Structure 1
Amino acid sequence: MFSPMDITVGIIAQPNPSVAVTTGNLLMLDYIPGSLMMKETDQVESATIKPGRATAGSRRGKVKASGSIKFRLHDDAATELLFSSGLGNTWLEAGAVGDVGDTLTASSKKVSFMLVQIMQDEAGVFTKDTFLGCEVTKISFSAENSAGLEVTVEIIALDMVTSTGDTTLTKVASSTALEMLGDDVKNITINGVTITGYTKLDLTIEQPRDPNYVLGSSVATAVSASGTRKGSGGVSYFRQNGALPGFTGGAQAMSFSLGDAYDVAISAAYFSWPKDSYGGSAVETTANFTIGYDNVALTDIKITRKL
């Protein structure tokens, strides 16, 4: 039998969502056990009556493949491919591939990938589930002091194919860069003001996507966007004298650093009225925000590679 502790996951860009990639580098993704991808089908029940009040049973209907993966954020190629799919664009290379200064600007480009879940039993026998035409529908993370910076991505796919044996793709190990903590979230700047008292940062980017079905097949022909990209989050900080962000409720620029790896720039953040909390040893204030499009930046969010 297979243990959940013996499942490895890898992803590779898939230019044609319906055709499996057979050569190239499979970027292995270090993840936190708990949830992965799976395939399900609708069951279409028969309304036909059979002798003795029985029915004619049911048949399998539409194929649905989806799931979520959680991991600790670190400077890694697999992570960057997931971000690319979730933000709807490819990385703009400043020089050589993977160089400092590369940028990922949120847009509406289709970025599909193939995901392979490889299971190995104690006898060394492999089985793999290959998910075709994957796209990220949601990215979320939460940063708190001295806690792991955990990212959760939700994924939708066209179909899953199960086969025996290990993958023939070239496995590329996940980066050895240190996993980030909340301590690595720095330089939080809102409305041009940077303060040091932030205690928590949440961010979610969601792009609704749905599978499209046609007659003649139970497998979707494509995955398409079914709504606008929505960004939201919140910041918490200790209330104190001195410089404060001065939330206006209108569009305000916001930026922060994720360790030495990435800078994140939000062009237009719209903050709610800050809410104080009086428990604990200090007054803590939380302000939630939504993200909007900016006519100057021509986007709503951009990530810049620092390494």
Structure 2
Amino acid sequence: MPFISSSDVKVTLIPEDTFGVLATTGPRYDIPRKAGDSLPVKDGGNVESDTIKPGRNANGSRRGNQSVSGSLEFNAICAPFMDFLMEGAVSGKYAGNVLKAGQTDSSFSHISQLTNNEFKVSTGCVPTNFTLTATAAEAVTLSFDFSGAKQVDESAITGTHTATPVDDAAYEFLGHEVLNVTVGGSTALKFTELELSVEQSRTPRNVLSSDAPVGFAASGARAVTYNLTFYRETGVDYAALFTGDKQEFSFDLGIAGYGRRFTVYGQASIPEDVTEDDMLISVVVTGAYDSTEGTALVIEKLV
């Protein structure tokens, strides 16, 4: 029997109308894979028996409620699948060209096609973490961690889905395409790296009569963290730029047509020196609710 090569695995995401149920119609996102990506991991939820059998022997274990965990990593690109994943990660929906972090949760099915008639189907998947990282002279990367309810093996995928491909004109973003990094209304600082992270804990809802969660509930506050690293320069009043009070911070990824703008409302830490040799400074912004926007994070399509 021939081995299956990880390079040949195809990944598809399908939005769910009902949590944990693979939809038979609607959009289908065939997403790019990053080298080294792994398959979602199924946990059987084994429950060990504490019964003592004769001769001090144990009584084994039984499979309990299963769960799924996985991650998606790729170089940043403006495409429908990226918007779809970000909606799930921030619990929001685009209204026109604007996406605000909120409390509208959604789920998707993750399909790993191993061969023409072998599929691993993970249903009831919800993002728990989203990270965008940009470093000067390197590729901009995106990663999403997700939890799922159930995973099964299938020989075929039924239904009629509408393919939503990545536009051939779209491209993978590089560091020099991170534009208009704005702090305190100024774009004058020389940034070398930034990282935006959004994390939301999700608690599985296990119930009697089911061997898998019937949903995931958000647990605790959404954590929005924005890390900035930049060069120390003369004549800059860093205390005036980073006041420690609630401020607006933003950056653009790309330009009109294929770009996105990310705006974080939050409070900045005291600027700290990173290394003496490179004279770098780092600041951590912690997202905070803005009453005008009704959120701590806004993502906009640049049109």
TM-score (norm 1): 0.90
- Asked if 1:46 is matched to 2:49, the reply is yes
Is 2:160 the partner of 1:165? no
1: CA distance, partners of 2:301 / 2:236: 29
Aligned residue number for residue 99 of structure 1: none
- Give distance in 2, aligned partners of 1:271 and 1:48: 55
Letter matched to residue 214 of structure 1? V
Partner of 1:70: 73
- 1:259 aligned to 2:262? no
Residue 193 (structure 2) pairs with residue 200 (structure 1): yes
Corresponding residue to 1:129 among 116, 120, 134? 120
Cα RMSD of the aligned pairs, angstroms, is 1.7
Counterpart CA distance in 2 for 1:248 and 1:130 is: 48
Match for 1:151: what amino acid? L
Please report how far the alpha carbon of residue 242 of structure 1 lies from its aligned counterpart in structure 2 after TM superposition. Answer: 4.4
Q: Deviations over 1:105-126 (max 9, x none)?
A: 1101112222211112xxxx43
* Helix, strand or coil at the partner of 1:83: helix
Contact 2:228/2:284 (CA < 8 Å) preserved in 1?
Answer: yes
Letter in 1 for 2:207: V
* TM superposition shift of 1:279: 3.8
CA distance in 2, matches of 1:57, 1:237: 56
Within the candidate set 288, 291, 295, 1:292 is matched to 288
Aligned residue for 2:137, secondary structure, equals coil
Q: Where in structure 2 are the equivalents of 1:270-289 lying within 5 Å?
A: 270-280=267-277, 282-289=278-285
What secondary structure sits across from 1:226 in the alignment? strand
Q: Tell me how far apart the structure 2 counterparts of residues 296 and 69 of structure 1 sit (CA, whole Å).
A: 33
Corresponding residue number in structure 2 for 1:241: 234
Contact 2:207 2:213 in 1 (8 A): yes
Give the alignment of 1:40-189 within 5 angstroms.
40-93=43-96, 102-120=97-115, 125-165=116-156, 168=159, 169-176=161-168, 177-189=170-182
Range 56-65 or range 19-28, more displaced: 19-28
2:261 counterpart letter in structure 1 = D
Offset at residue 138 of structure 1 (A)? 0.5
- The whole-number CA distance in structure 2 between the counterparts of 1:287 and 1:85 is 27
Which moves more between the two structures, 210-219 or 240-249? 240-249
Letter in 1 for 2:269: S
Q: Which amino acid is 2:232 matched to?
A: R
Whole-angstrom distance in 2 between the partners of 1:16 and 1:130: 15
CA distance in 2, matches of 1:83, 1:19: 21
Query: Secondary structure of the equivalent of 1:240?
Result: coil
Task: State the alpha-carbon separation in 2 of the partners of residues 257 and 294 from structure 1.
Answer: 20
3-state SS in 1 of match to 2:197: strand
| Larger deviation, residues 49-58 vs 148-157 | 49-58
- Give the deviation of 1:166 after TM superposition: 5.5
Three-state SS of the structure 2 residue aligned to 1:116 is: strand
Contact 1:193 1:244 (C-alpha < 8 Å) held by counterparts:
no
Cα distance in 1 for residues equivalent to 2:32 and 2:18: 25
Q: Is the 8 A contact 2:266 2:288 kept in 1?
A: yes
1:146 to partner: Cα distance? 1.2
CA apart distance, 1:56? 2.1
Superposed CA deviations along residues 119-142 of structure 1, whole A, max 9, x for unmatched, are 12xxxx431111212111100121
Distance 2:125 2:48 in 1: 29
CA contact (8 A) 1:195 1:243 kept: no
| 2-structure distance, mates of 1:12, 1:253 | 34
Aligned residues: 293
Query: In structure 2, how many angstroms separate the alpha carbons of the residues matched to 1:40 and 1:134?
Result: 14
Q: Deviations over 1:220-268 (max 9, x none)?
A: 11111011111112111111134555211111111110012101111x2
Letter in 2 for 1:77: P
1:9–1:30: 8 Å Cα contact kept in structure 2?
Answer: yes
Tell me which residue corresponds to 1:98: none
Percentage of matched positions with identical amino acids: 28
Amino acid at match of 1:14: E
Specify the SS of the correspondent of 1:213. Answer: coil
- Cα offset for 1:145? 0.7
Please tell me whether the aligned partners of residues 77 and 175 of structure 1 are also in contact (alpha carbons under 8 angstroms).
Answer: no
Q: Distance in 2 between matches of 1:194 and 1:36?
A: 41
